[in-house]
Amino acid sequence: MLTRPCPGFKAAGIAAGIKKNGLKDLGLILCDAPAPVAGLFTRNQVQAAPVRLDRERIGGGLCRAVIVNSGNANCCTGEDGYRHAVRMARAAASTLKVPEEQVLVASTGVIGEPLPVERIEQALPELARRLSPEGLSEFAEAIMTTDRVPKVVSRQGRLAGQPFTLTGAVKGAGMIRPDVATMLCFLMTDVQAESGVLQAMLKTAADRSFNRISVDGDTSTNDTILLLAGGASGAAVDQAAAQAAFQPVLDAVMLELAKWVVKDAEGANKLVEIIVRGARSEADALRVADTVANSPLVKTALFGEDANWGRILAAAGRAGVPFDPGGVDLFIGPVQIVSKGLGCGRAAEAQAARVLRSAEFAIGLELHAGPAQASVFTCDFSIDYVKINADYRS
Amino acid sequence: MLTRPCPGFKAAGIAAGIKKNGLKDLGLILCDAPAPVAGLFTRNQVQAAPVRLDRERIGGGLCRAVIVNSGNANCCTGEDGYRHAVRMARAAASTLKVPEEQVLVASTGVIGEPLPVERIEQALPELARRLSPEGLSEFAEAIMTTDRVPKVVSRQGRLAGQPFTLTGAVKGAGMIRPDVATMLCFLMTDVQAESGVLQAMLKTAADRSFNRISVDGDTSTNDTILLLAGGASGAAVDQAAAQAAFQPVLDAVMLELAKWVVKDAEGANKLVEIIVRGARSEADALRVADTVANSPLVKTALFGEDANWGRILAAAGRAGVPFDPGGVDLFIGPVQIVSKGLGCGRAAEAQAARVLRSAEFAIGLELHAGPAQASVFTCDFSIDYVKINADYRS
């Protein structure tokens, strides 16, 4: 795991007693100076208290610290929940001696149970003492719910010759499970940038990464992505040329984190890229790819390692995008199994079955309807997914 | 099982050797006279050959016979597949001595394999010999794929004092599996009606029945509903009053068949009605109910018999319909478990868990946003669903 610290940031994570199993459940990020910040939040009508608070505070444009707990989503908890989110931020602000309105919060875990905010308040002094430039891996551990591994990615780039760093941590069950679900992503960089510029670039990168992964189509009440630009490198993202140099690094880090979420999806065994080519528009291509990527039938066939191309064509056909089914080609990895809408026979299926046994591969669907393409990352749908989701609270 | 024959119709079903397991796989319906006919077909872009043929022929407005096979969907089979569908209809027409263009066809089973049309041609004389007014139950058996039981429903009604009969047979795995999937429904009645009138009433009834069930959101390439009005009763569905008397019977038969499809869904253990009340419009209510009914997380919680109300609210919240999450109430059967967006506590959850252990119940979500309501029938999402769909072709 890459854990290159981002200059200007410290992080830490500890067990505060929110999770019943005694694992780490409270994480903290501190920036040396107020950092311009951008954020993206869940579009679910049901929004957790921390999301409501962050939406208000992010308008200020600056963030000094982020306090995150796992084990409790602080969602569907009413006005008490909102007050608990405020108290959680206030405790961090007073411990760190930073302005309260520059503290953002995030929570993930069970919905509908009161947040044990006293445990967070009690744990904060110790958590603050542990803050260190190398602390991001324990922070990443502290925000996990049913994630199998902590997920941190770091890259470096150059702006007008000056090096900069971008480091991100993500948690996500991938197969979203509202109780323990939620995709939380925290990105730190040492470039200098205004929050408006950051916001536009974050949105662009999300559309190329987290908005291109699909696990089960459920959207959490707590999804949060934050990007903080501390500025320690002195490299400025201001002009168009600098933005053009920064965006690919942001895209790459977020895509890597997003793919990691899919790979780590509960019960998942395979990371599969669904690539749709030859669509009339990118929107059309994305819609077809999304429908295939979300089809329970395609996903169970992936689990079964079955070259069941009829399911893929049938899913594509219900995406609401016009194309000629008699003209499509389909590839599993490099193996063509459908040519002009017709199966290529048993030998091709046997070859495709070998590709399906691998852990990562692509499925390519060529519509021959236009010049556009798009892709989505998905995973298989396993017996473990059902077991975990059926048994979770029992 | 109700198998009241509909006067004026005969049916039969036999094993023609299309299914590998030797079970019945070829069914036939014959009307004594050319019957005005209405039809609804899949909206999938990928349309099986029999659907393409029926769409052309139904414009003629009259149907004398329907020939249906299971074990092979005759889909993604190209122009050969279309010619096979024509041959299948022609064989029935010549055996029965009825006009070829008044024969409709349907197929269900594996996608992408050539239809063994010779076996259908060879079996037709024997199939025609077996035709009988009591033959609908063996017809219903012959159209099954992974259905656990043959499904036939019959009701009687009165039009201006004159009794009439409506009888229908359906097959549907419920959890749609493109290989063996497809919802096929054949309705016979002895009223007199024009095909245009039948079409409008069929559409209305479908919107109240088959369009209100949800299993996994996948749409088959072969879905077909046909309604034949033989006219033997002499009761006429012509004036508005007669339509008003016939529609509820049609609605009731189709809703019963639709619920049966959900109950018989592969791996399903529970039939659950998701009722959304207090929406601004029926479309809003339906959208929320549909999203809840299709959520893998809600469906796995139903399988686990877990009163996991957070998942239901989270699914409702992502339906794209505005409502105040702080104002909603939620009921599982008669038990209220959420009041004004907050959980009603452990005792209520324990009571709800008892309801969840039953085979049929309703989940009621009150949005308090308006006067409209809608409901959708769904089932649980089980380990067996994944097993069956992962292993189907292996």
For B27-58, the pLDDT digits (tens) are 999 999 999 999 999 888 888 999 999 999 99
- Whether B363 has a pLDDT exceeding 50, the answer reads yes
pLDDT above 70 covers what percent of chain B?
93
CB-defined contacts A:B, below 8 A: 209
Q: How far apart are CA A152 and CA A173, in angstroms?
A: 15
Global pTM? 0.80
Q: Do the bridges between strand A271-279 and strand A360-366 make them parallel or antiparallel, or are there none, so unpaired?
A: parallel
Q: How far apart are CA A261 and CA A143, in angstroms?
A: 13
Q: Which of A262-271, A355-364, B208-217 holds the top average pLDDT?
A: A355-364
SS3 content of chain A, % helix, strand, coil (to 5): 35, 30, 35
Burial (CB < 10 A; 0-12, 13-18, 19+), residue A335, is buried
The per-residue pLDDT for B182 is: 65
**Smallest Cα–Cα separation from B388: which of B70, B69, B175, B149?**
B175
Summarize the confidence of residues A101-128 as an average pLDDT.
95
A343 near B112, Cβ under 8 Å? yes
Mutate: best of A43, A218, A290, A385, partner B, most B CBs <10 A: A218
Spell out which residues of chain B touch residue A219, defining contact as CB-CB under 8 Å: 314, 317-318
CA distance B284 to chain A (A): 14
The per-residue pLDDT for B3 is: 62
- Whether B307 has a pLDDT exceeding 50, the answer reads yes
Interface contact flag, A311 B78, Cβ < 8 Å:
no
CA distance A378 to chain B (A): 15
The per-residue pLDDT for B54 is: 97
- Give the one of A45, A319, A390 whose C-beta lies nearest to B300's C-beta: A390
B345 is written with which tokens?
A: 């506590």
Mutate: best of B45, B276, B378, partner A, most A CBs <10 A: B45
Q: Which of A287-296, B123-132, B259-268 holds the top average pLDDT?
A: B123-132
Q: How far apart are CA A60 and CA A76, in angstroms?
A: 26
The per-residue pLDDT for B43 is: 80
- Give the one of A76, A216, A319 whose C-beta lies nearest to B342's C-beta: A76
Contact residues for A252 (Cβ-Cβ < 8 A; gap 6+): A155
**Smallest Cα–Cα separation from B105: which of B170, B168, B48?**
B48
First to last CA, chain A: 34
Choosing from A182, A189, A221, A378, which is the catalytic residue?
Answer: A182
The per-residue pLDDT for A182 is: 65
Spell out which residues of chain B touch residue A115, defining contact as CB-CB under 8 Å: none
CA distance B180 to chain A (A): 10
**Smallest Cα–Cα separation from A275: which of A367, A175, A174?**
A367
- Give the one of B46, B313, B322 whose C-beta lies nearest to A313's C-beta: B46
The per-residue pLDDT for A215 is: 63
CA distance A362 to chain B (A): 19
The per-residue pLDDT for B1 is: 42
Q: How far apart are CA B184 and CA B175, in angstroms?
A: 14
Please give the DSSP secondary-structure letter assigned to residue B140: H
First to last CA, chain B: 34
B53 near B92, Cβ under 8 Å? no
B79 is written with which tokens?
A: 């122009």
Burial (CB < 10 A; 0-12, 13-18, 19+), residue B196, is exposed
Summarize the confidence of residues A212-230 as an average pLDDT.
80
- Give the one of B75, B76, B313 whose C-beta lies nearest to A46's C-beta: B313
Q: What is the rounded radius of gyration, in angstroms, for the C-alpha atoms of chain A?
A: 22
Spell out which residues of chain A touch residue B326, defining contact as CB-CB under 8 Å: 78
Contact residues for A203 (Cβ-Cβ < 8 A; gap 6+): A40
- Better-scored residue on pLDDT, A280 or A388: A280
Beta bridge partners of B360: B271
B77 in catalytic set: no
Summarize the confidence of residues B319-343 as an average pLDDT.
94
Choosing from B42, B165, B182, B378, which is the catalytic residue?
Answer: B182
Please name the residue of chain A whose CA is at the shortest distance from the CA of residue B299: A390
Neighbours of A97 (CB within 10 A): 8
Q: Do the bridges between strand B271-279 and strand B360-366 make them parallel or antiparallel, or are there none, so unpaired?
A: parallel
- Whether B211 has a pLDDT exceeding 90, the answer reads no
B356 near B271, Cβ under 8 Å? no
Interface contact flag, A389 B112, Cβ < 8 Å:
no
Question: Tens digit of pLDDT for each residue in B333-348?
Answer: 999 999 999 999 989 9
- Better-scored residue on pLDDT, A220 or A224: A224
Question: Tens digit of pLDDT for each residue in B252-299?
Answer: 999 989 888 888 877 788 999 999 999 999 999 999 998 899 888 888
Please name the residue of chain A whose CA is at the shortest distance from the CA of residue B325: A46
**Lowest-pLDDT choice from A368-372, B11-15, B170-174:** B170-174
Please name the residue of chain A whose CA is at the shortest distance from the CA of residue B389: A300
Question: Tens digit of pLDDT for each residue in A317-347?
Answer: 989 899 999 999 999 999 999 999 999 998 9
Interface contact flag, B217 A301, Cβ < 8 Å:
no
3-class secondary structure, A227: strand
Question: Tens digit of pLDDT for each residue in B78-116?
Answer: 999 999 999 999 999 999 999 999 999 999 988 889 999
Interface contact flag, A300 B385, Cβ < 8 Å:
yes
Q: How far apart are CA B35 and CA B280, in angstroms?
A: 42
Please name the residue of chain A whose CA is at the shortest distance from the CA of residue B323: A45
Spell out which residues of chain B touch residue A43, defining contact as CB-CB under 8 Å: 318
Q: How far apart are CA A167 and CA A195, in angstroms?
A: 18
Q: How confident is the model at residue A180 (pLDDT cuts 50, 70, 90)?
A: very low
* Chain centroid, CA B376 distance in Å: 13
- Whether A16 has a pLDDT exceeding 70, the answer reads yes
Spell out which residues of chain B touch residue A344, defining contact as CB-CB under 8 Å: none
Summarize the confidence of residues A174-194 as an average pLDDT.
73
Q: How confident is the model at residue A177 (pLDDT cuts 50, 70, 90)?
A: very low
- Whether A27 has a pLDDT exceeding 80, the answer reads yes
Phi, psi of A332 (to 5 degrees): -115, 110
Interface contact flag, A78 B326, Cβ < 8 Å:
yes
- Whether A368 has a pLDDT exceeding 60, the answer reads yes
Phi, psi of B140 (to 5 degrees): -60, -35
- One DSSP character per residue, B363-389 reads EEEE--S-SEEEEEEEE---HHHHHHH
The per-residue pLDDT for B350 is: 92
- Give the one of B296, B381, B386 whose C-beta lies nearest to A382's C-beta: B386
B134 near B10, Cβ under 8 Å? no
The mean pLDDT of chain B is: 90
CA distance A341 to chain B (A): 6
SS3 content of chain B, % helix, strand, coil (to 5): 35, 30, 35
Burial (CB < 10 A; 0-12, 13-18, 19+), residue B243, is middle
Summarize the confidence of residues A90-94 as an average pLDDT.
98
Spell out which residues of chain A touch residue B323, defining contact as CB-CB under 8 Å: 45
The per-residue pLDDT for A1 is: 42
**Lowest-pLDDT choice from A158-162, A190-194, B92-96:** A158-162
Spell out which residues of chain B touch residue A112, defining contact as CB-CB under 8 Å: 309-310, 342-343
The per-residue pLDDT for B223 is: 85
Spell out which residues of chain A touch residue B308, defining contact as CB-CB under 8 Å: 178-179, 392-393
B6 near B127, Cβ under 8 Å? no
- Give the one of A73, A311, A387 whose C-beta lies nearest to B178's C-beta: A311
Summarize the confidence of residues B62-67 as an average pLDDT.
98
The per-residue pLDDT for A382 is: 82
Q: How far apart are CA B352 and CA B309, in angstroms?
A: 10
Spell out which residues of chain A touch residue B304, defining contact as CB-CB under 8 Å: 389-394
ipTM above 0.90, yes or no: no
Beta bridge partners of A39: A226
- Give the one of A220, A391, A394 whose C-beta lies nearest to B314's C-beta: A220
b/e per residue A77-90 (b: at least 16 CB within 10 A): bbeebbebbbbbbb
The per-residue pLDDT for B145 is: 86
